[in-house]
Amino acid sequence: MKKIAVCYKWVLSDTDIRVNEKSRELDLEKSKPQVSEYDRNTLAAGVALKAQAGASAVVGVTCGTVTEGSSKDALSRGPDAVYYLDDAVMASADSSTTSKVLAAMIKNIGDVDVILCSEASSDEFAQQTGPRLAALLGYPSVSGVAAISVAGDSLTLDRKMADGTEVVSVKPPVVISTVPEVKDAPIPSVKDILGAKKKPANALTLAGIGLSADAVKPLFTINSVLAPESKRKVVRLNPEGTSIDDAAKALIKQLSTDGIL
């Protein structure tokens, strides 16, 4: 096995996203970027696979805007190096754009024969990048992978299906889309964080990988993102000190009227 590339995404933390109650728009002011939670597991799987298969290296690959800041976090999770592309045009990227840029980056890196992607990112959850990337590179694509093991010159992949597990064998090159169960993601230690500063973080550009801004225009655009409108029916069952017994009877009557009972 040559190099393992793990694609990851630098996303805003969803725990700090708030909703404006009046406009229903998302308030991202307090949300800080982080490696997508799903991608942390995939990075851990890539590091484990390198050790098991004796691959020459495992590298992290990402593209987007302000992705330079992702390097330290990603490198603290075990990769030997990170390659990032930071361009304003990627602010409107869709799965088509992202997979096209990732494919060109991986070709530029060279000697990559196993590519790991999370099944989806924690922000859009489109579930398209892995298969699209495989199509662009001409590699087989295996999705829904919950476990990876090495068997000689092949990989044994356990696919999580709706009604069971499918086990497949494939020889590199291959693009593997993983589910979170593929590997637990440990919290980086202080040693890991300090060691990340000594690892290479390589900046790539669209021109450097042979793409123009026009070549990576998204196929669709997002006009707005609004939280769902929530309307709740409020019925007070104990006005003016109504007894508990009477309130309970009123509740049963109301539930029956609404067709719940």
Pairing relationship of beta strands 57-64 and 81-86 according to DSSP bridges: parallel
The interaxial angle of helices 129-137 and 95-109, nearest 10 deg, is: 50
Query: Is the separation of the CB atoms in 126 and 95 below 8 Å?
Result: yes
Tokens 């398209």 sit on residue: 128
Look at residue 232 in the predicted model and tell me its pLDDT. Answer: 72
Q: Does domain 3-216 have CATH number 3.40.50.620?
A: yes
Which of 67, 27, 105, 74 lies closest to 192 in space, CA to CA?
74
Find tokens 């997508």 and name the residue.
Answer: 36
Interval 61-113: pLDDT, tens: 999 999 999 999 999 999 999 999 999 888 888 888 999 999 999 999 999 99
Tens-place pLDDT, residues 182-212: 999 999 999 999 999 999 999 999 999 999 9
Write down the mean pLDDT value for the chain.
Answer: 90
What is the Cα–Cα distance from 58 to 50, expressed in whole angstroms? 6
Mean pLDDT of all residues in 238-255: 82
- For residue 219, the 8-state DSSP code is S
Beta strands 33-35 and 164-170: pairing type? unpaired
pLDDT value at position 240?
A: 74
> In the chain, where are the structural domains located?
3-216, 231-261
Q: What is the pLDDT of residues 19-28, one digit of tens each?
A: 887 788 877 7
Neighbours of 213 (CB within 10 A): 12
Q: Which residue has the higher pLDDT, 247 or 159?
A: 159
Residue 170 has pLDDT above 80, yes or no: yes
- pLDDT for 136 beyond 80: yes
User: Cis omega before residue 173 (within 30°)?
Assistant: yes
Residue % of the chain over a pLDDT of 90: 61
H or E stretch at 60? strand 57-64
Contacts of 259 (CB under 8 A, 6+ apart): none
Residue 14 has pLDDT above 80, yes or no: no
Predicted pLDDT of residue 188: 93
Which residues contact residue 91 at a Cβ distance below 8 angstroms, ignoring those fewer than 6 apart? 64, 65
